[in-house]
Chains A and B, each alone.
Chain A
Amino acid sequence: MATTKHTLVAIVEDKPGVLNRMASLFRRRGFNIESIAVGHSEVPHLSRMTIIVNGSNAMVEQVRKQLDKLIDVVRVSDITGDNITVRELALIKVKANSATRSEIIEITDIFRANIVDVASDSLTIEITGDEDKIDSMLKLLRGFGVREIARTGRVAMVRGNLGAVPAEEKAARSRAKK
């Protein structure tokens, strides 16, 4: 079956075990999670995950439904086909000496990335963008010798007004606070 890359966004309660349960549903079906990014959402005690997986539509939909059944998962959506903004951040430590340093800085400027650390024989660059942008920059930097890469994995958001946390849930929580 043809597999494609899917972007899932999950709103989950930040309780122990949530990540385990979710990962286990993917593992069981032999999915390799390509990237997963977790952080706070706009609602206290709810985390937001962006999960990138490869799989057939039917398989991914099956996992999505299973994820949605987990008690601590408030909502999961597959936003692959939606109009979305996707970003990833990478830190890249690249070898640099007096001969190459200025050329690397030039590349950094072209990609609107930042130098965040300068050492005697390396530079650390911070870049934000979609996957393609980061990949193309990496390609150019490889020639200099890349020492270390740290990527956050993608985070994604649907364009427009709608939020990922169900409105009724937000309302309930703000009521509970009062």
Chain B
Amino acid sequence: MKKTGAQILCESLIEEGVDVMFGFPGGVLLPFYDTLPQYPQIRHILVRHEQGAAHAADGYARATGKVGVCMATSGPGATNLVTGIANAYLDSSPIVALTGQVARPFIGKDAFQEIDITGITLPITKHSYVAMEAGSLSGIVKEAFYLARTGRPGPVLIDLPKDVQEEQAELHHPGKLNLPGYKIPTKGHPMQIKSAARLINEAQRPLIVAGRGVIISRASAELKQFAETGQIPVITTLLGVGSFPENHVLSYGMAGMHGSGYANKALENTDLLIAIGMRFDDRITGKVSAFAPHARIVHIDLDPAEIGKNVRVDVPIVGDVKAVLQAMHEVIDAGEHIEWIKQLDEWRKQHPLTDIKDSAGLLPQYIIRQLYEATGGEAIIVTGVGQHQMWAAQHYFFNEPNNFISSGGLGTMGFGLPASMGAKVGRPEKTVWCIDGDGSLQMTIQELATLVQDNIAVKIAVMNNGYLGMVRQWQDLFYDKRYVATPLSCPDFVKIAEAYRIPGLRVTRREEVKAAIEQAMEHDGPFLIDFMVEPEENVFPMVPPGAAIAEFIEEPKKEVSTWPRQSTP
């Protein structure tokens, strides 16, 4: 029996296990949307801006490990997706973006709302398709999902001309995939693994730096076993946060521009750096020539193009992180690095991150600690981009993978709210907190309406400092406090929330924090808290741009209390 392209598309999506998608309609998608009700298995969530659809699909993908799906109409709908696609590309997040396109006879004629979206997204997609026949759709969808989720994951785009959605064709079940140009390294070369093991067994001051690749490869258990056997301390990148439990005795937190002092000291002093599923972004290397100056480097990554890209590597191992760690665990000796670990603990004492100064004002760090307490460290935390993002990474302790969702590579303000929407839809049993900046939130604030319409119970904590804080911080530190274009006049976020029919609270004092958080969590549905935080608080430590990673600046004054640190062996 013949089906329409739109039907074939829906059935192929269901075949791939899609049960939810984030989209926004338009003229050329009318055939698809008209068909969608025939497939109640697919829940469609109407966003308020297509950027939100892409971020929501991304947040969904990061929270679940499954492929997220977003859809937009041709022309402006498709271009609105672009930021979200780029964001997913840079953070290797598996999404499939479906875009409407003008009917085939109009393509290339500058028709109304025609844009070459496959051309525009060429450098920010893992792959893309223009579906020129309804009969080819099932094969394209299968390939697209396969490419999005396997190997190094990433966004794949399918452009769907209007008349292809209407065209009748037989629904062929796609056969075996034929992708001769697509190679996924698996095991890692045994010789390389042996060489790495030799270095590991000889090292006095070994250090693991774990990135998002560990999370993507679902290799947290293997990482833990590997680190424990070798007694190797572990630090993470921003996107690697949660790949190794932060309450583990071998955990030394996040390194990098706003990493902990002791993590960065560890990088400076290690004699063997084992980099796992990370790509030596400049935010973690600092000045490359001064990066890990005493270390030999073992680099384990799935993507051969990452090897030697930014930093010289002594032993590259191209392979799936999980498989490589398993194999490596077989060949390393049980280690002991008592002196080294003692040294790291000493640095942790000298450069503590866990102390928060006693301030009369309301400190964002304090709020994040309270969120940690209130959620037992079990919530999914999604952030915007800026100071609040760094504080969230620093002061919430993540003990499970996929619980910290943040825009790393692209650093996209506006990611937080829609991504948290996607995360909550993907894992409804979890508490999802969106820790957002007053600036970031206003970039995609319209998605509050989506939360209400689809009853998505995201809790929002706005760190309202009245500034584009992170940029202001740079102006403070490096531009003589000339605050140009960073003071932010904000609306009354509580009233805004209420206008969207979301209950909200304003918190101005420390004493109110705990109760407000509890109230938000007790409420069944979305909730917003507007935290009026100290406007000129800065994120420390900070490695100034261009400096070596160990040349971090610390908080000028430091008082206060210790935060209890749990530890499990």
Q: Look across to chain A and name the residue whose beta carbon is closest to the beta carbon of B309.
A: A62
User: Given the complex of chains A and B, what is the CA–CA distance between A153 and B180 in angstroms?
Assistant: 27
Q: Closest approach, in angstroms, between the C-beta of A69 and any C-beta of chain B?
A: 6
Q: Which residues of B contact A169 (CB under 8 A)?
A: 180
Q: Which residues of A contact B123 (CB under 8 A)?
A: 24-25, 28
Tell me whether A69 and B118 are in contact (CB under 8 A). no
Tell me whether B181 and A70 are in contact (CB under 8 A). yes
Instruction: State whether the Cβ of B119 lies closer than 8 Å to any Cβ in chain A.
Output: yes
Instruction: State whether the Cβ of A138 lies closer than 8 Å to any Cβ in chain B.
Output: no
Q: Which of A65, A66, A71, A176 contacts B181 (CB 8 A)?
A: A71
Instruction: State whether the Cβ of B485 lies closer than 8 Å to any Cβ in chain A.
Output: no
Tell me whether B180 and A74 are in contact (CB under 8 A). yes
Instruction: State whether the Cβ of A73 lies closer than 8 Å to any Cβ in chain B.
Output: yes
Q: Closest approach, in angstroms, between the C-beta of A6 and any C-beta of chain B?
A: 17
Tell me whether A21 and B180 are in contact (CB under 8 A). no
Q: Which residues of A contact B182 (CB under 8 A)?
A: 71
Instruction: Bits for B292-314, please: 1 = Cβ < 8 Å to A, else 0.
Output: 00000000000111011100000
Q: Closest approach, in angstroms, between the C-beta of A8 and any C-beta of chain B?
A: 15
Instruction: Bits for A1-42, please: 1 = Cβ < 8 Å to B, else 0.
Output: 000000000001100110011001100100000000000000
Q: Which residues of B contact A66 (CB under 8 A)?
A: 305
User: Given the complex of chains A and B, what is the CA–CA distance between A123 and B128 in angstroms?
Assistant: 47
Tell me whether B122 and A20 are in contact (CB under 8 A). yes
Q: Which of A20, A61, A75 contacts B119 (CB 8 A)?
A: A20
User: Given the complex of chains A and B, what is the CA–CA distance between A28 and B122 in angstroms?
Assistant: 12
Q: Which of B122, B304, B309 contacts A21 (CB 8 A)?
A: B122
Q: Closest approach, in angstroms, between the C-beta of B288 and any C-beta of chain A?
A: 13
Q: Closest approach, in angstroms, between the C-beta of B141 and any C-beta of chain A?
A: 15
Tell me whether B127 and A65 are in contact (CB under 8 A). no
Instruction: State whether the Cβ of B147 lies closer than 8 Å to any Cβ in chain A.
Output: yes
- CB contact list, B141-168 vs A, under 8 A: 147
User: Given the complex of chains A and B, what is the CA–CA distance between A105 and B180 in angstroms?
Assistant: 49
User: Given the complex of chains A and B, what is the CA–CA distance between A16 and B129 in angstroms?
Assistant: 9
Instruction: State whether the Cβ of B126 lies closer than 8 Å to any Cβ in chain A.
Output: yes
Tell me whether A62 and B122 are in contact (CB under 8 A). no
Instruction: State whether the Cβ of B18 lies closer than 8 Å to any Cβ in chain A.
Output: no
Instruction: State whether the Cβ of A172 lies closer than 8 Å to any Cβ in chain B.
Output: yes
Instruction: State whether the Cβ of B1 lies closer than 8 Å to any Cβ in chain A.
Output: no
Tell me whether B127 and A71 are in contact (CB under 8 A). yes
Q: Which residues of B contact A68 (CB under 8 A)?
A: 304-305
Give chain A's interface secondary structure class.
Answer: helix
Q: Which of A20, A58, A69, A176 contacts B305 (CB 8 A)?
A: A69
Instruction: Bits for A59-102, please: 1 = Cβ < 8 Å to B, else 0.
Output: 00110011011111111000000000000000000000000000
Tell me whether A65 and B122 are in contact (CB under 8 A). no
Residue of B123, B128, B130 with most partner-chain A CB within 10 A:
B123
User: Given the complex of chains A and B, what is the CA–CA distance between A70 and B123 in angstroms?
Assistant: 11
User: Given the complex of chains A and B, what is the CA–CA distance between A40 and B147 in angstroms?
Assistant: 26
Tell me whether B181 and A17 are in contact (CB under 8 A). no
Instruction: State whether the Cβ of B484 lies closer than 8 Å to any Cβ in chain A.
Output: no
Q: Look across to chain B and name the residue whose beta carbon is closest to the beta carbon of A74.
A: B181
Q: Closest approach, in angstroms, between the C-beta of B33 and any C-beta of chain A?
A: 28
Tell me whether A172 and B118 are in contact (CB under 8 A). no
Known: A17-B118, A17-B128, A21-B122. A65 touches B179 (CB 8 A): no
- CB contact list, B264-318 vs A, under 8 A: 303-305, 307-309
Q: Look across to chain B and name the residue whose beta carbon is closest to the beta carbon of A173.
A: B180
Residue of B180, B182, B308 with most partner-chain A CB within 10 A:
B180
Q: Look across to chain B and name the residue whose beta carbon is closest to the beta carbon of A62.
A: B309
Q: Which of A20, A58, A65 contacts B304 (CB 8 A)?
A: A65
Q: Which residues of B contact A75 (CB under 8 A)?
A: 181
Q: Which of B130, B181, B304, B305 contacts A16 (CB 8 A)?
A: B130
Q: Which of B130, B178, B179, B181 contacts A12 (CB 8 A)?
A: B181
Tell me whether B179 and A71 are in contact (CB under 8 A). yes
Q: Closest approach, in angstroms, between the C-beta of B254 and any C-beta of chain A?
A: 27
Known: A62-B309, A65-B305. A17 touches B122 (CB 8 A): yes
Q: Closest approach, in angstroms, between the C-beta of A136 and any C-beta of chain B?
A: 39
- CB contact list, B309-356 vs A, under 8 A: 309
Instruction: Bits for B416-442, please: 1 = Cβ < 8 Å to A, else 0.
Output: 000000000000000000000000000
Q: Which of B118, B126, B307, B308 contacts A71 (CB 8 A)?
A: B126
Known: A28-B123, A65-B305, A66-B305. 7 other contacts (CB 8 A): A24-B123, A61-B308, A62-B305, A62-B308, A69-B303, A71-B179, A71-B181
A-B residue pairs in contact (CB < 8 Å), sample of 28: A13-B180, A16-B130, A17-B118, A17-B122, A20-B119, A20-B122, A21-B122, A24-B123, A58-B308, A62-B305, A62-B308, A65-B304, A65-B305, A65-B307, A69-B303, A69-B304, A69-B305, A70-B181, A71-B127, A71-B147, A71-B182, A72-B181, A73-B181, A74-B181, A75-B181, A169-B180, A172-B180, A176-B178
Cβ-closest 9 pairs across A and B: A65-B305, A74-B181, A71-B127, A73-B181, A74-B180, A169-B180, A71-B182, A66-B305, A24-B123
